[in-house]
Amino acid sequence: MAQEYSLSLTEAVRRVREQKLSPIELVDQSLARIDQSDSTIRAWAAIDRAAAQRAAAELDREARQRRFRGPLHGVPVGIKDIFYTAGLRTEAGSKLLAGFIPDYDAEAVARLRRAGAIVLGKLATAEFAFADAPATRNPWNQEHTPGGSSSGSGAAVAARMCYAAIGSQTIGSTIRPASYCGIVGMKPTFGLVSRYGMLPLAPSLDHVGIFARSVADAAAMLQAIAGQDPRDPASRTVAAGDYALSASQAERPPRIAVMPKPFDDRADDETQAAVADALGKLASGGAQVEAIEEPPGFTEIEPNAQVIMCAEASNVHRERFAEKKDFYGPKLREFLERGLNMQACEYIRAVEVQRRFRQEVDRVLASFDAILTPATPSPAPAGIESTGDPSFNLPWSLSGHPVISLPCALATSGLPISIQLTGATLEEGRLLTVARWCERIVCFDAMPPTVQP
């Protein structure tokens, strides 16, 4: 029988409910994987070993009594180290927060616990979720970046150290590391998941992200954490859908839009070939694939997204930066200095570009089930000092539309290549159905060489 750590999240939950596995076994195997692998991968910022074992024992007692908290009962997960965790340090990869221990959970963390998830610990992040990379390495090739800023989240799920994780995305910090690490990434609609208790970078762009091993696993995670929270001013006043059901449905083949020009011009040859091959498989499976022109505002979005992020990040850090500038890493320090010198008219114009672009994407998605593009311009680049190129993720972070990335091939280097599917605002259910259909057709099942069954 396969080791428990190689199971999907949904399969692990099913076996717990059938009493074929216990939460204690799942936690013990996850901790053993961490002990075996993390001295090399360095995905974890802190392990809450004793608390995880206590939670596993309690959830095991409940399972034996046929009492289940929710869709994640007994499954170990990881938390990016920008989310508050009660009693466990939250340092955001920064010297400024060294030793900081919150006294409450971020809402996303609290909802995971209420759904029965077991928090193993905190996952490494670039400093304050920006660009000064942590020491985390890619499980597929340790000389390559795992992406960022949710570096630990991508690496830990890919290396089978936890069944799923949460991270964040302001520009590309979920989809990029998920792609580089060969797993499923999901960025829900802006405002669908509460950011209360999550350290901000740029509040009008910050999303909670999901890292998982399958579309069904991502749906289970979303089911647990989505929904309105009045403490987050961006929270949507909508009820969460039945995402797990959506991910299990096999509807008609989808209608998919592709935008060759702005992506193929920047993607390397292997990425273009892998995406073309995936599109061929989807079309052979019955999908209607149509090439379209990119929205008119596409050429304006990259510089204006940077303006929004720069202005908002400098405002978030204004007081702390004035007192302790030298505590910041070089990339973030330079970025904040730029924002503090920015004129208000630049920001106002950038927000207007964002508004127009969101409407343009809405118009495209009125005629399609999803927009399919490469998730990144190339597989993970060599070196861990960079988190990679987020430019293919930026449009959908700026617009706030939901995105799911799926690995689709391995490059000749042995590194994964992924596609990303963008769906209509608040239509996560439909996007998950499309993604599950595509997942079955593409049928990527490779695992990193560091994962030994």
The CA distances from residue 26 to 117, 246, 383, in Å, are: 11, 26, 33
pLDDT at 432: 96
Determine contact, residues 277/409, Cβ cutoff 8 Å: yes
pLDDT at 199: 98
Domains of the chain, start order: 4-293+363-442 (3.90.1300.10), 298-349 (no CATH)
Q: Which one, of 443, 438, 429, lies nearest residue 256 by Cα?
A: 438
User: Running along the chain, 453 residues long, what does each successive block of 10 average in pLDDT?
Assistant: 78 96 96 96 98 98 96 98 98 97 98 98 98 96 98 98 98 98 98 98 98 97 96 91 79 92 93 98 97 93 96 97 95 96 96 97 97 98 96 98 98 98 97 96 94 66
Residue type, 67: R
Q: Rounded to whole angstroms, how far apart are CA atoms 318 and 304? A: 21
Determine contact, residues 70/59, Cβ cutoff 8 Å: no
E strand map for 162-287? 164-169, 184-187, 207-212, 255-258
Q: Rounded to whole angstroms, how far apart are CA atoms 158 and 416? A: 11
39 given a catalytic annotation: no
Q: Which of 22, 30, 37, 80 is catalytic?
A: 80
Tell me how far apart the terminal alpha carbons of the chain are, to the nearest angstrom.
10
Q: Which one, of 77, 42, 70, lies nearest residue 165 by Cα?
A: 77
pLDDT at 451: 82
CB atoms within 10 A of CB 237: 7
Q: Which one, of 45, 37, 13, 35, lies nearest residue 26 by Cα?
A: 13
Q: Rounded to whole angstroms, how far apart are CA atoms 148 and 387? A: 5
Q: Which one, of 72, 24, 33, lies nearest residue 156 by Cα?
A: 33
95 given a catalytic annotation: no
The strand pair at 164-169 and 207-212 is best described as antiparallel
Residue 203: φ, ψ to 5°:
-55, -30
Q: Tell me: cis bond preceding 94? Omega within 30 of 0 counts.
A: no
325 given a catalytic annotation: no
Q: Which of 22, 30, 149, 151 is catalytic?
A: 149
Burial of 252 by CB count in 10 Å (0-12 exposed, 13-18 middle, 19+ buried)?
Answer: exposed
* The two three-digit tokens of residue 306, written as one number: 């940077």
Q: Which of 151, 173, 246, 397 is catalytic?
A: 173
Prediction pTM value: 0.97
